[in-house]
Amino acid sequence: MFINWALQEINLKIVYYGPGMSGKTTNLEYIHSKLDPSLTGELVTLKTKEDRTIFFDFMQIEVGRIKGKKPKFNLYTVPGQVYYASSRKIILNGVDGVVFVADSQKDRMEANIETLLDLEKNLKSMGFSLENFPWVMQYNKRDLPNAESIDVLERKLNLFDVPSFEAIAIKGQGVFDTLKAIINLVVQHVQKQL
C-alpha cells in the first residue's frame, strides 16, 4: 500500500500469480477490454514471440473511495515460467492481495502446487503467509476436457479455504467475480489498517 496524502490517493497492489500458461495475462486483457477507459490506465505488457510474459503485465483501475481517499488498484501478473523465480519475487514486493490463477488441467496439478509453494515462500520472506493474507483462488480453463473436478482442486490446492472461482478467462467467465472478490478482501484489510 502506498498513500499519496497530497492527492488523497491510496495505491493498492494486486498480483495475479500462478504457473506458466494458466491464464494470468488473459485475465488482465479481458478486464482491460471491458472496463471504461476513463477508469483504467494502459495495459502495459511485454511478451516473448510465444506470448509468454517476460517480466510482468500491468494496468491500473480506479474505484469508489475508502475513508475519503481514492483507491487505485495496480494489477500485475508474474511470469509463470519456472526460471523467472527472481522476477516473481521482485513483483510481489509491496503486494496487498493475490489472485492465484490455477490451471484446471489434470496434468498441471503439480505445477499448481509447486507455484503455490513458491508463492508461500516469497510471502514468508516479506513477513506474510497464505494463512493470514488477502488472496483468492481462480480455477481457470474449466472449458477443457481434461479439467480436474472442483472437489479435487479444492482438496489439493485450497488448503486455507479462501474464496474460489471457476473461470474460462478466454471467454471472460469468472474474471470479474474473481477481481471483485480480491478487491473486497483488500479493501476490508486496508480499512482495518487506516
Binding site for ligand GTP (CB under 6 A): 18, 20-26, 51-53, 77, 79-81, 140-141, 143-144, 168-170
Q: Which of 22, 25, 40, 140 binds Mg ion (CB under 5 A)?
A: 25
Cell numbers describing residue 172: 471472460
Q: Which is nearer to ligand GTP, 71 or 174 (CB)?
A: 174
Q: Which is nearer to ligand GTP, 35 or 144 (CB)?
A: 144
Tell me the residue number closest to ligand GTP, measured at CB.
Answer: 80
Taking the complex as a whole, the smallest distance from the CB of residue 24 to ligand GTP amounts, in Å, to 4
Q: Does 104 bind Mg ion (CB under 5 A)?
A: no
Beta strands in 18-161 (DSSP E): 44-47, 53-62, 70-77, 97-103, 135-140
Give yes or no for a contact between 77 and 23, defined as CB atoms under 8 angstroms apart.
no
Q: Which is nearer to Mg ion, 26 or 122 (CB)?
A: 26
Q: Grid cell 505445477 — which residue? A: 111
Considering only the stretches 32-40, 50-58, 130-138, 164-172, report the one whose residues sit in contact with Mg ion under the rule CB under 5 A.
50-58
How many helices and strands (H and E) does the chain possess?
5, 8
State the alpha helices, DSSP H only, in 50-174. 85-92, 109-125, 150-157
For residue 193, which of 60, 2, 5 has the smallest C-alpha distance? Answer: 2
Binding letters toward Mg ion, positions 52-91, x by CB under 5 A? -x--------------------------------------
Residue 99 partner contact from Mg ion, ligand GTP, none using kind-dependent CB cut-offs of 5 to 8 Å: none
Residue 20 partner contact from Mg ion, ligand GTP, none using kind-dependent CB cut-offs of 5 to 8 Å: ligand GTP
Give the helix/strand (H/E) hosting 15.
strand 9-17
* Residue 50 exposure: Cα atoms within 13 Å on the Cβ side: 6
Residues in the chain: 194
Residues at the contact surface with Mg ion, assessed by CB under 5 A: 24-25, 53
